[in-house]
Amino acid sequence: MEILKYTEDHKAFRKRAREFIAKEITPHVEDWEEAHITPKWAWKKMGEAGFLCTAVSEKYGGLGGDFLYSVIVAEEMIRTNHTGLATMLHSDVVVPYIDSFGTEDQKKKYLPGCVSGEIITALAMTEPDAGSDLAGMTATAEQDGDKIVLNGAKTFISNGINSHLVIVAARAPSVSNPYESVSLFLVEDGTPGFKRGRHLDKMGFHSQDTAELFFTNCRIPAENRLGEMGSGFKMLMSKLQQERLMTAIGAQAACELILEWTRDFCVKTTDASGKPLSKYQANMFALVEMACEIKLGRTFLDKLIAEHAAGEFVVVETSMAKYWTTDLAKRLTVRCIDLFGEYGIMEACPLPRAFRDLRVMSIFAGTNEIMKGIAAKFMGL
């Protein structure tokens, strides 16, 4: 029995997404990996085809779809084996802040462009000295008449180079309680005082434009604040469930794809005697063991997807899933490289890139140690 109830419309959407991505995205991935950035035209193509911000209402140009449409796009994008076109971050992590907390004027101004791909978004939380500790951020926001003045630095910001619109978390220095001082602000590309720093060179995520951002007396209109002053921490916490769930979805889909590659390789590749690698007991058992772990992860994850889509509070379980799937992705990739043998370390094989890209997933959206800490707290430990 299937846990997730995909309708015929969902299935048709997945088919269309897979065909579009195979034709318009995948052929360019190698060039983007080499360039270490994804061109903005690719975002526009995704938007024009209806694969960005599928949850946004038709009123603002979106599909108005349920959460399963987001799941479908995320899973199909994983099949490209690259991370540069970070549609999941844009559509399901950043834009929901505007959709949920923005004023009507803010929604009208920004959401149509987010849907079309004309506006690429980023979320600036992490700082050089404050990673997962949001309460430790030092970037400041001070009111000056009808303006907000931002000062501070952010780092490891995905879409940091390409972004047209950045949601910036900053604190009011006059408020001592760190949980009541943080607010979120919309900062547009080209705003005086907003500058981009280094395009960071990373172990993986080569086509993802991860960057430093700097704000020096950056003056934005007061109406560019999202929600009430001091409500930023609560808004960030309210969206972490979906962010971590999306990370788990990406890791789970990657595991399934990697096993698919490895199974096909072992079935089709023979040794000197002509015997397929999959017929050797050690290889056979390894594939079965990995398939079992993947099925366990899929069952757990699909249950959480259904609960999240129904509006249920599953923060603890989502933290567990984020930890489980991203750790599984690391272990599984290493084991599959062993099964591929010497070919597994060649760049012509898809596994080295997957190994590099998946490694960071246990770190972002809250480290896996933080995920365990969240679960431990609710277990009364």
Catalytic residues: 243
CA distance 315 to 143: 34
> CA of 359: how far to CAs of 9, 20, 38, 94, 110, in Å?
34, 28, 21, 22, 33
3-class SS at 295? helix
Q: CA quadruple 353, 209, 138, 98: dihedral positive or negative?
A: negative
Which of 39, 40, 38, 74 minimizes the C-alpha distance to 55? Answer: 74
Residue 161 near residue 122 (C-beta atoms within 8 A):
no
Could you give phi then psi for residue 122, rounded to 5 degrees? Answer: -145, 160
Measured CA angle at 50 (ends 47, 314), to 5 deg: 100
